[in-house]
Amino acid sequence: MGNDQSGGARGGGGGAGPSARANAASASAAANAAQDLSKKLKLLEKREKHVENQINKLTQQAKERKKKGDKKGALFCLKKRKLLQGQIDKLQAARLNLETMQLTIGSANMNREILTGMQTGAAALGQIHQNMDVDAVDDIRDRMEEQMDVANEISDAIATPMGDGLDDDDVLDELAEIEAEEERERLAAAAARNPGRVATADAGRDILASALDLPSAPTTPILPSAPTGAVLPDAPTGRVAIAADDPDLAELEAMAAGMT
């Protein structure tokens, strides 16, 4: 049986090698793809900035030619600017696709790392539980509970007083008789000193209760009410004027729209 276990362990170790190599290969491929995407994104960003600079230059040229009276030249600059604006839209769409792919690769790498960690943890738990059994744990718990019961019984036996002991009820009855006897002696002595003013224990308790019949103090403090509505300044209602565009450029735009 030991040979079977050792053979299984060797087979498991041999199977782990190709898996590790496959994980390393996939990690390398993902890293290369991420680097390539980063390069492509930088290239697109440079191209986009270059086209934007050209658009700004064409806009300025259109304004200058309009001022000089060269409307055809101004319209040519605007047409070329529209073509470049179309390139900007395409470049931005391409950047969005590459960034989406980059995020997807990053998420896949994270999933691979998590899966690798889970596999490692599962293998470690398998090794830890190899020499454990639920029945063995139950047997250990039963033995522990049995020994704890024995320890409690020993503690109770040690704490039990020796001899016959005394009954608390009997002692309490004797104490009550002593207190009653003392009360009778006190009342007899008071009656001997003041024959006309003999008060029993019940009468004394009634007098004390009537003497302590006092009005109750208020339990709820009386405080001024806090304001419930927040006083805030009114929000401005007027419209904010927006500066108009360049009139020359607006006229050129209108001319270009009329030609299309």
Q: What is the pLDDT of residues 5-35, one digit of tens each?
A: 444 444 444 444 566 677 677 777 878 888 8
pLDDT value at residue 2: 41
Predicted pLDDT of residue 160: 79
Residue appearing with tokens 């209760």: 209
DSSP-assigned states of every residue in the chain: -HHHHHHHHHHHHHHHHHHHHHHHHHHHHHHHHHHHHHHHHHHHHHHHHHHHHHHHHHHHHHHHHHHHT-HHHHHHHHHHHHHHHHHHHHHHHHHHHHHHHHHHHHHHHHHHHHHHHHHHHHHHHHHHGGG--HHHHHHHHHHHHHHHHHHHHHHHHHHSPSSS---HHHHHHHHHHHHHHHHHHHHHHHHHH-TT----HHHHHHHHHHHT--PPPP-S---PPPP-S---PPPP-SPPP-----HHHHHHHHHHHHH-
Q: Residue 191: CB partners within 8 Å, gap ≥ 6?
A: 198
Query: Alpha helices, DSSP H only, in 194-234?
Result: 201-211
Torsion of CA 180, 182, 183, 189, to 10 degrees: 150
d(CA 68, CA 64) in angstroms, rounded, equals: 6
Contact 41, 99 (CB under 8 A): yes
Burial category of 65 from C-beta neighbours within 10 Å (exposed 0-12, middle 13-18, buried 19 and up): buried
Residues (pLDDT < 70) of the chain are 1-20, 23, 163-168, 170, 195-246, 256, 258-260
Residues across the chain: 260
* Contacts of 51 by beta carbon, 8 Å cutoff, 6+ apart: 84, 87, 88, 91
88-120, pLDDT tens digit by residue? 999 999 999 999 998 998 888 899 889 989 999
Crossing angle for the helix pair 247-259 and 2-68, to the nearest 10 degrees: 100
3-state class percentages of the chain: helix first, strand second, coil last, to nearest 5: 80, 0, 20
What span, in angstroms and rounded, lies between the C-alpha atoms of 114 and 33? 20
Collapsing DSSP to helix, strand or coil, 74 comes out as helix
